Chain A
Amino acid sequence: MKEIIAVVRMNKTSATKKALVDVGAAGFTAEKVMGRGKLVEEKERIATRRANLMELAKAEDDKETEALIDSFLDGSRLFPRRMFTVFAHDDDVERIIHAIIKANQTDNNVGDGKIFVLPTMDIVRVRTGESGEYAI
């Protein structure tokens, strides 16, 4: 038995839910979390991203907007994300991970999320009291 923790973009929640149903692991727990990832240190990439964001803002020399965009990029900020927790049989883990990755990849190259796989000792279904593999 494994516990799969996936931290994904907020707007990918329904895509992830659908992917989980399609792969046969409909049960999940989702939570709203804040998080940050590995710091991007390549100057060039940050500059491109910054230019893109400034373009979106369409502000003319607006100090506030600039400060806000800078805070997005310097790593000081936590971003909202959705955290899915799914329990699965060992054999299904690979398929589930593949499905989550496929549903969540974007063109941004960063910020799409992380997936962690943890070992699980035991699972108990409250309704029947059965435990182990049957309880998933």
Chain B
Amino acid sequence: MLLIRAIVRPEKKDEVLYELSTAGFHAATVIDVVGRGKQKGIKIGGIVYDEIPKALIMLVVRDEDKEDVISVILRTAKTSAKGAYGDGKIFVSAVDEVYTVSTAAAGL
């Protein structure tokens, strides 16, 4: 299993979650975060904004669903056909075990 963490624009959060649900990946955890990327934030006038608000969407999926999830996020989180700086990043990490609290069962 894999943990997919996607950092997207906050205004794209609902759209990404909706599309993920439609694609069959309903379960997700969402956190409001601030951060900066490779462009070192945004400089407007003389002021540098480097704590830009973003939404962090976390979901754990089976290995074979990785490509599907990533393509859904890539498609919906983009702000234009070309994409723009600040559209976000996706990180994938390994997950050894998953448990559901209500049933104490292992697995997704």
Contacts and interface: CB of A to CB of B under 8 A. Distances in A.
A31 B31 CA distance: 9
Contacts of B96: 2, 117-119
B98 A106 contact: no
Interface residues of A, number: 36
Q: Please give me the 3 A-B residue pairs with the lowest Cβ-Cβ distance, nearest first.
A: A112-B101, A35-B29, A112-B102
B30 interface: yes
Contacts of B31: 31, 33-34, 83
B80 interface: no
Given A101-B104, A105-B102, A34 B30 contact: yes
A35 B28 contact: yes
Contacts, number: 82
B105 to A, nearest CB: 10
User: Taking chain B's interface residues, is the majority helix, strand, or loop, or is none over half, making it mixed?
Assistant: strand
Contact of B101 (A33, A115, A119): A115
Contact of B98 (A35, A36, A117): A117
22 contacts: A5-B3, A6-B101, A8-B101, A31-B31, A35-B27, A35-B28, A36-B26, A75-B26, A83-B31, A97-B97, A100-B101, A101-B101, A105-B104, A114-B60, A114-B99, A114-B100, A115-B97, A116-B98, A118-B93, A118-B95, A118-B96, A119-B96
Measured as residues with beta carbon below 8 angstroms from the partner, the interface class of chain B is 20 to 34
Interface string A84-120: 0000000001000100110011101111111111110
A7 interface: yes
Nearest to A100: B101
B30 A106 contact: no
A36 B64 CA distance: 22
